[in-house]
Structure 1
Amino acid sequence: MRSLRGKLLPPVVAIVFSALLCSVALIISGSNPAKALAVMVVQVGRDTTLVDIVNSASVYYLVGIAVAIGFKMNLFNIGVEGQYRIGAALAAIVGGQLNMPPVIGQIVIILTAMVGGAAYAALPAILKVTRGVSEVITTIMLNAIAGGIIALLIKQGAFGVLNNNNISTKPIPSSNWIPGISFGSAGTVFGLVLLAILVGVGYWVLLNRTRFGFELQASGESPTAATAGGVDAKRMIVIAMLVSGAIAGLTALPEVLGRDHAYTLISPQGYGFTGIAVALLGRNNPGGIAFGALLWAFLDQSAVSLDVIQVPREIVTIMQGAIVLSVVVSYEVIRRLELAAEQRRVGLQLAAATTGSAS
């Protein structure tokens, strides 16, 4: 019961605190918080908002899982941003250049994205285990380099084509698209939403039903103890980074194969940093990350409706930042309170045992 409370209470406290903070900001600006929230909630049932939330959440979920794998190993893989962009660009290039038969084409594109993301995560992993270089520094630098690599690949004369004043990869043939699930005027859910679900299930099985998952968590919690138990900590670092990069490579595929069918220089960016927030919100738990992804997507998509009542949509950014900060603080506060309660309980038991033996 205490464990469940420790998992559920912090995010609830964080959301309530961020809502109160945003309410204060809205009141100061002369807006009605209740009206703003009502407009955001009502917007979910209009047009394609609900489908857009599900589609965005699938992307956020994939990148959140990628970040969480690193967190489980006590690695701060900020480079998920660069890894997913490299993976998506390479996958789009392969998909556009090769005219492959259905099924085989989709599989090759997905594997290319995973290999691309994993390969881009390999360098910081190798530097970490061979030279002790912080993965935070190397991955941040590689994020910037990724933009330059993509610019070189997607240009005329290389693998880029000019399309309506925008340079992109060659369009992927329709036979290699992954069709979505149509809900008529409500929109079309990306077909790769199912892949995101499978990744989440696989992540849960990996952590809770495999030896590798046990060694991954043990190495993250105490590398010294894990090494004493026969676990190769350096090997686990490399594997964790490669798996994290491979999952990161999948991030943009729901959009590439389900909507855009190419990768452009202006394709959406910033998912990697959103993934960090979602993983923190979900505490690296597959169910928690799903909740975090849906919440983040809801705030993103419904923020547009605030323009109707002249409320700045930036209030949503404040709420998102407050949620992440509050979650981190809440978990630490709850952890300390539970630790203090446990110490008191043990103290009372020892005192009772001492009194009983004395009598």
Structure 2
Amino acid sequence: MKLNARAVLLPPLLAIIAALLLCSIALMISGGNPLEAFGAMIAQVGRGTTAVDIVNTGSTYYLAALAVAIGFQMKLFNIGVEGQYKLAAIVAMIAGGAVALPPVLHTLFILVVAALVGAMWAAIPAILKITRGVNEVISTIMLNWIATGIAAYLIQQSVFGELRGNNLGTPVVAESGWVPGISLGGAGTIFGLVVLAVLAGVGYWVLMNRTRFGFELRASGESATAATAGGVNAKKMVLVAMLLSGATAGLVAMPELLGRDYTYTLNFPAAYGFTGIAVALLGRNHPVGIAFGALLWAFLDKSSVALENVGVPKEIVTIMQGSIVLSVVVAYEVVRRITLAAEQRKVGQQLGTTDEVAA
């Protein structure tokens, strides 16, 4: 019991302490006062639409992190979430802007298209891995660049793009495809598809912890040889895991696109996929942990504007984010080793007692 409590509670505690120390050092080096900087960032949450912006951005980070976490459960490093969500977003917006459907049905059509495109793009590295042994890290990195190139081609005026002002974008989706948000007046509007992120988290937890499929997926990730001996098709699990990861990645941009923008433009935010990797590491692949990680990351992003008011460059937040991820990874590894050593000592003591009794 003591070991379990240590393994659960000690890593986050160590990570928080280490991250605060590292961030404080970085702030002092930059000439800032750590207490003043942290205070300004916390105070920023109560100003304007910052709190709602954190929730909205956090939902996007959450979906990206879930996509990464599905791969992690199978010991697959899906770095391709970045390309999968970009390609899915632009194709879904093109398809959604080209059809006229009743409300709800129109929205569901766009979501299905996005999920299918994300799954299709993720299927490529999965097939390469199970048929040719190509490492998914290499193939997904390459596919990110290809997806970016395809998106740049599709948004051209001569293809599907439309020039509005000084910006190129896909056709605007009709209002029947929009997802209404929850208005909080001057505090902003929460995206309606924040609910999608919550449902995705619940579905992920049920799939991984309450189904035979989830058990087989994790077993295949631990040892493909052992899983095969137990009757599990490890190659099939690789394919299914990547398809699920890609489908989830395809939904990453939907809260913003269907709740605010209604079109994919040249200045649509990038790097959600890479942020998802960091958030998944922070959350240790657990849906609740990922939620906290996503909100923390969004808080650092949105509250960073307050740093300039206290004479600290907002870019220091990047150092904070890196420090937090590093602290979490190191803390869990340290506690894992401490726990393992304690268990080994306990087993050794038990064996020693047994030998004495036998003598």
Map of 1:101 onto structure 2 = 102
CA deviation digits over 1:247-280, x for unaligned, max 9? 0000000000001010012200000000000001
Map of 1:122 onto structure 2 = 123
Map of 1:265 onto structure 2 = 266
Provide the C-alpha distance between the structure 2 equivalents of 1:215 and 1:316, rounded to a whole number of angstroms. 39
Distance 1:4 1:107, change over 3 A: farther
Q: How does 1:1-40 map to 2 (within 5 A)?
A: 1=1, 2-40=3-41
Provide the C-alpha distance between the structure 1 equivalents of 2:33 and 2:153, rounded to a whole number of angstroms. 49
* 1:65–1:200 CA contact under 8 A, matched in 2: yes
CA deviation digits over 1:217-254, x for unaligned, max 9? 00011111101101111100011000000000000000
2:311 maps to amino acid: Q
2:253 is the alignment partner of 1:252 = yes
2:306 maps to amino acid: S
Map of 2:64 onto structure 1 = 63
Provide the C-alpha distance between the structure 2 equivalents of 1:205 and 1:187, rounded to a whole number of angstroms. 32
Map of 2:241 onto structure 1 = 240
Map of 2:304 onto structure 1 = 303
Stretch deviating more after TM superposition (335-344 or 325-334)? 325-334
Cα deviation, residue 21, structure 1: 1.1
Structure 1 unmatched ranges of 5 or more: none
1:147 maps to amino acid: T
Provide the C-alpha distance between the structure 1 equivalents of 2:63 and 2:284, rounded to a whole number of angstroms. 15
Provide the C-alpha distance between the structure 2 equivalents of 1:3 and 1:160, rounded to a whole number of angstroms. 55
Provide the C-alpha distance between the structure 2 equivalents of 1:257 and 1:284, rounded to a whole number of angstroms. 27
2:80 is the alignment partner of 1:79 = yes
Cα deviation, residue 4, structure 1: 4.1
1:343 maps to amino acid: Q
* 1:83–1:249 CA contact under 8 A, matched in 2: yes
Q: How does 1:329-340 map to 2 (within 5 A)?
A: 329-340=330-341
* 1:58–1:196 CA contact under 8 A, matched in 2: yes
SS for the counterpart of 1:256 is helix
Structure 2 unmatched ranges of 5 or more: none
Map of 1:192 onto structure 2 = 193
* 1:11–1:281 CA contact under 8 A, matched in 2: no
CA RMSD between the two structures? 1.0
Map of 2:210 onto structure 1 = 209
CA deviation digits over 1:24-43, x for unaligned, max 9? 12223332100100111111
Task: Report the number of matched residues.
Answer: 358
Map of 1:176 onto structure 2 = 177
Map of 2:149 onto structure 1 = 148
1:168 maps to amino acid: G
Map of 1:138 onto structure 2 = 139
Provide the C-alpha distance between the structure 1 equivalents of 2:97 and 2:131, rounded to a whole number of angstroms. 37
- How many percent identity over aligned positions? 65
2:103 maps to amino acid: P
Map of 1:54 onto structure 2 = 55
